[in-house]
Structure 1
Amino acid sequence: MTDYRRLYVKGAMWFFTVNLAYRYQSTLLVDEINLLRESFRYVKERHACTINAIVFMPEHLHCIWTLPDGDADYSTRWKLLKSYFSRGIPKGEHISHSRTKRQERGIWQRRFWAHLIISQKDFNSHVDYIHWNPVKHGQVKYACDWPYSSFHHYVSRGVYSKDWGHSGEFVIDGGE
């Protein structure tokens, strides 16, 4: 068994990627967008954090959170969010033997990707990545056409122009 360790920094800003268990050929997150948004509200009411940027894709999501000073526990927030969402989905998904033994649903991948944001450049790059994601995955031609994103909030604040992120015109650092 792998000794899996996470970094925890109180009051830090984090970029996360969270995936469905069976990521490909699923649209569950956008099909159940109201439940997903409700899940985020549920968690924020119990464990405050700032959501700096977010995008909900059909089968995964990316977001940036800032935790309150003195608080480093993002894992509890993700556990609550995944549990709340899962309880709202009718049973019927494939559940592996190991998940059955642990009495787990088969909706989410067990783990998630967490990256500590270390600078303004790092933050800007991840916010761009989040808002570019629907274009990158071929969901829309323009970032503004994807309704499940904080992109529109950033446009209203003047951070982006509405036509930012046209397919074929934007390249994220590193060529991704």
Structure 2
Amino acid sequence: MYEYRKLTAQQKAEIVRQRLANGYPPHSPPHHLTNYEFYLLTATCFEHKCRLNSEPRRQQILNLLWENFIDIDITILAWVVLPNHYHLLVKNVDFKKVTKTLRLIHGKLARQWNLEDNLTGKVWHSYSDRGIRSENHYYATINYIHYNPVKHGYVNSPYDWQESSVHWYLKYEGRDWLRSCWVEYPLRDYGKGWDSI
């Protein structure tokens, strides 16, 4: 995303032309129509700015995601909301409904937060999706989501971050299950390079 800004007008036009020729949107991430049962959805604040910079804001978006995804029959299986992005592991994805729903949620919150912060401009940079390809990928994704606050340096333990499904899994599956999942499905390079995109 940031490399694009360094390109000449001609280079930018060529990239947009190639994206359109491949059936992709000109600037936002493409949403492939491959049918996976599960997807990792990631939404990022524009320029990675920390607009989700308080627990009430993170809880607000989490509540809106839950309410609206229930309405469109999408199940959220794991989640984390950080100061500048969030991840959701979901089931039963209809991308037309997801796109419309996230556009509404993000638009509502952008307006509200810009008013609260006395700012103008873009708050969100669309969203991306990754199909979950195997059982290993599924459980590694849960680990990735739960470890994300530690990865980004916000806390020393996943259990210290409130806006995360790690607490749900701790309550309903137990600490032994979480430890076993962590050992059996290691992260390795999961997510490497995503932040530079």
TMscore range, shorter length:
0.7 to 0.9
Instruction: Report what 1:99 is aligned to.
Output: none
Q: 1:23 aligns with which of 12, 24, 48?
A: 48
Is 2:80 the partner of 1:80?
Answer: no
Tell me the residue number matched to 1:44: 69
- Partners of 2:52 and 2:144 lie apart in 1 by 20
Superposition pairs for residues 1-176 of structure 1, below 5 Å? 1=16, 2-3=19-20, 4=24, 5-10=30-35, 12-28=37-53, 30-67=55-92, 72-88=93-109, 89-90=112-113, 91=115, 92-95=118-121, 106-110=122-126, 112-156=127-171, 157-158=173-174, 159-161=177-179, 172-174=187-189
Matched AA of 2:46: A
Quick one: which amino acid aligns to residue 54 of structure 1? W
Larger helix share, 1 or 2? 2
Q: Percent identity between the aligned chains? A: 21
Distance 1:147 1:78, change over 3 A: farther
**Aligned with 2:49: secondary structure?**
coil
Tell me which residue corresponds to 2:6. Answer: none
Unaligned runs of 5+ in 2: 1-15, 25-29, 193-197
The one-letter code sitting in structure 2 at the alignment partner of 1:151 is V
CA contact (8 A) 1:29 1:36 kept: no
Q: Secondary structure at the match of 2:178?
A: coil
Q: Quote the RMSD (CA, aligned, Å).
A: 2.6
8 Å contact from structure 1 (residues 54, 130) kept in 2: yes
Deviation at 1:65, TM superposition (A): 0.3
Structure 1 runs not aligned, ≥5 long: 96-105, 166-170
**Structure 1 154/21 Cα, relative in aligned 2: closer, same or farther at 3 Å?**
same
Q: 1:22 is paired with a residue of what secondary structure?
A: helix
The whole-number CA distance in structure 1 between the counterparts of 2:123 and 2:119 is 7
**Contact map agreement 2:146 2:164 (CA 8 A) in 1:** yes
Which range is displaced more, 138-147 or 25-34? Answer: 25-34
* Structure of greater Rg: 2
